[in-house]
Amino acid sequence: MSKVLPLNPPARRDASMLNPVTEPRLVRWLLTSVALTFLALFLVVPLVARCSCRRSRRASTITSSH
């Protein structure tokens, strides 16, 4: 015969339910630093380079017009 399971099982409070993070602290720091480095390289650096190009282009236009 099959066993009938209750719809609402009783809540258990063990350590795995209190702290859902299972990765070690070093792994979490490593993943966070890799993600921030990716953002810096592919988002921030091109934006800064574009702004500096505009600034240098504007400066060269001002000096060449005089």
pLDDT tens string 20-49: 889 999 999 999 999 999 998 999 888 888
pTM metric for this prediction: 0.48
Question: Residue 26 has which token pair?
Answer: 């070093």
Q: Distance between CA 57 and CA 49 in Å, rounded?
A: 12
C-beta of residue 28 within 8 angstroms of C-beta of residue 21 = yes
26 or 2, higher pLDDT = 26
Q: Distance between CA 49 and CA 22 in Å, rounded?
A: 39
Tell me the percentage of the chain whose pLDDT exceeds 70: 67
